[in-house]
């Protein structure tokens, strides 16, 4: 069987709902599809529910499903993936929490759960903690800065458990909580003890940190503690290149977004961030297209191009930017299509989830997907829209089904049965 190279282009947060400013059309209903009109007309289209209808995907869970891992059974909670999104490289068994810089008084009563929210010194504070905290009970601790007051904290060592409670009281005017084991298990007891030591040490460190003295001098609340919530224990994921049900020798992900890069690395992709690719709305998308074509020429089996700007524009509610970025994404697709042998590729364009401009956050709406291969049942569509996609050949796929379909069109899917 001919094995085709698979090229997947994701415009993050692509799908939308009717936008009042666009006369209740969606961005996809107003963009110019002419750069890919020939390719689109020869493609099969459909809808994809990244997890299942009625579940709002994160970028992490959506990417797991897109690349063949059902997150409903294989997800350790947000802690580890927040850490990955903040740049951590996790190992199975690591315990990770989501955390906040916060302000407490002398009795450890929470005064401000977000330490004023805009913690400009967050990067420096994190470095200060990491340089000074040392190991706790033989367990290595790493703090990672996410955004604003948000951090992730990773504990690495033998015999740790995620069955421990939060230290974040999720309210102000009450004391920081002691972490407690959530089941009678020596590992959970040990972990809770370490977490409580972490809290005490971090509070000591931050209370004496010159950066906080400076904050107080400027009339800002000191970021003098880190509150933890949502412990999760990292699990191991099957590498795409080692799976028995699909045949993938080499896979590359081209992205500038830490969370997506982290998920792809977990799944066995090589990860590349081309120069000029920032993950922002001003990212140089054509540099990604050029790199994608390079990897196509090197014979990579699976080439993934992730475009973040569409999602960023959606979170900002910026209609014009989203339209512009979708059109740029189509040019990426067109650039690639013009440079590959269309008889020997499966070329896919989709969103990883919906981020409606009116909602400014991910929703559970299904996303339109376009799959070109020389032998698909073409739908002769002139647009790829939320409304029209449901009439297409692919129907409505969910979760890992789309991955299976792509593997099948590319001749890479093992038979289940005799």
Q: Which residues bind its own copies (CB under 8 A)?
A: 1, 17-18, 26, 47, 51-62, 71, 75, 78, 81-82, 85, 259, 356, 358-366, 375-378, 386-387, 390, 393, 395-397, 400-408, 411, 413-418
Closest separation between CB of residue 53 and its own copies, Å?
Answer: 4
Do 41 and 381 contact (CB within 8 A), yes or no?
yes
Ramachandran assignment for 383, one of left (phi > 0), alpha (psi -120 to 50 degrees), beta (any other) = beta
| CB of 89 closer than 8 Å to CB of 265 | yes
Provide the minimum distance between the beta carbon of 76 and its own copies in the complex, in angstroms, as a whole number.
11
Comparing CB distances to its own copies, the nearer of 46 and 268 is: 46
Least distance to its own copies from the beta carbon of 202, Å? 23
Q: Count Cβ neighbours within 10 Å for each residue of 26-52 and write b for 16 or more, e otherwise.
A: bbbbbbebebbeebbebbbbbbbbbbe
Residue (194 or 267) nearer to its own copies, CB: 267
Q: Which is nearer to its own copies, 182 or 359 (CB)?
A: 359
Task: Please provide residue 416's backbone torsions phi and psi, each rounded to the nearest 5 degrees.
Answer: -100, 100
The nearer residue to its own copies, 39 or 289, going by C-beta atoms, is: 39
Q: Could you tell me if 287 and 274 are in contact, meaning their C-beta atoms sit under 8 angstroms apart? A: yes
DSSP state of 36: G
Shortest gap between Cβ of 397 and its own copies (angstroms)?
5
When the beta carbons of 259 and 285 are compared against its own copies, the nearer one is 259
Q: Which residue has the tokens 């792509």?
A: 406
- Min dist. Cβ of residue 55 to its own copies (A): 5
Nearer to its own copies among residue 115 and residue 394 (C-beta) = 394
DSSP 206: H
Q: Count CB neighbours of 312 within 10 A.
A: 21
CB of 215 to its own copies, least distance (A): 28
């Amino acid at each position: 069987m001919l094995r085709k190279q698979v090229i997947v282009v994701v415009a993050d947060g692509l799908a939308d709902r009717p936008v009042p400013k666009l006369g209740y059309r969606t961005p996809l209903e107003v963009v110019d599809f002419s750069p890919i009109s020939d390719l689109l007309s020869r493609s099969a289209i459909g809808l994809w529910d990244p997890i299942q209808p009625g579940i709002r995907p994160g970028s992490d869970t959506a990417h797991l499903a897109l690349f063949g891992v059902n997150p409903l059974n294989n997800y350790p909670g947000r802690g580890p993936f927040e850490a990955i999104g903040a740049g951590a490289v996790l190992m199975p068994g690591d315990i990770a929490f989501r955390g906040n810089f916060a302000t407490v008084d002398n009795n450890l009563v929470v005064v401000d759960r977000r330490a004023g929210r805009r913690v400009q010194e967050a990067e420096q504070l994190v470095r200060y903690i990491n340089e000074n905290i040392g190991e706790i009970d033989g367990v290595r601790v790493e703090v990672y800065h996410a955004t604003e007051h948000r951090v992730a904290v990773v504990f690495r060592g033998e015999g740790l458990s995620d069955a421990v409670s939060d230290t974040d009281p999720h309210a102000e005017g009450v004391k920081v909580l002691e972490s407690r084991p959530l089941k009678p298990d020596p590992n959970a007891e040990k972990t809770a003890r370490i977490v409580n030591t972490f809290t005490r040490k971090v509070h000591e460190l931050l209370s004496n940190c010159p950066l906080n003295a400076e904050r107080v001098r400027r009339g800002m609340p000191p970021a003098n503690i880190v509150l933890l919530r949502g412990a999760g224990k990292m699990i191991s994921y099957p590498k795409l290149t080692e799976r028995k049900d699909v045949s993938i020798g080499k896979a590359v992900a081209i992205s500038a977004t830490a969370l997506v890069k982290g998920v792809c690395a977990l799944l066995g992709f090589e990860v590349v961030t081309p120069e000029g690719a920032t993950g922002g709305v001003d990212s140089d998308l054509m540099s990604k297209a050029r790199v994608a074509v390079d990897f196509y020429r090197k014979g990579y089996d699976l080439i993934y191009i992730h475009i973040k700007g569409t999602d960023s524009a959606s979170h900002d509610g910026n209609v014009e930017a989203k339209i512009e970025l979708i059109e740029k994404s189509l040019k990426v697709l067109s650039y690639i299509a013009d440079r590959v042998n269309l008889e020997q590729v499966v070329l896919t364009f989709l969103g990883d989830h919906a981020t409606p401009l009116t909602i400014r956050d991910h929703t559970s709406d299904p996303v339109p997907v376009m799959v070109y291969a020389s032998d698909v049942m073409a739908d002769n569509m002139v647009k790829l829209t939320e409304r029209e996609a449901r009439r297409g050949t692919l129907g409505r796929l969910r979760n890992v089904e789309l991955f299976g379909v792509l593997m099948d069109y590319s001749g890479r899917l093992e038979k289940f049965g005799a």
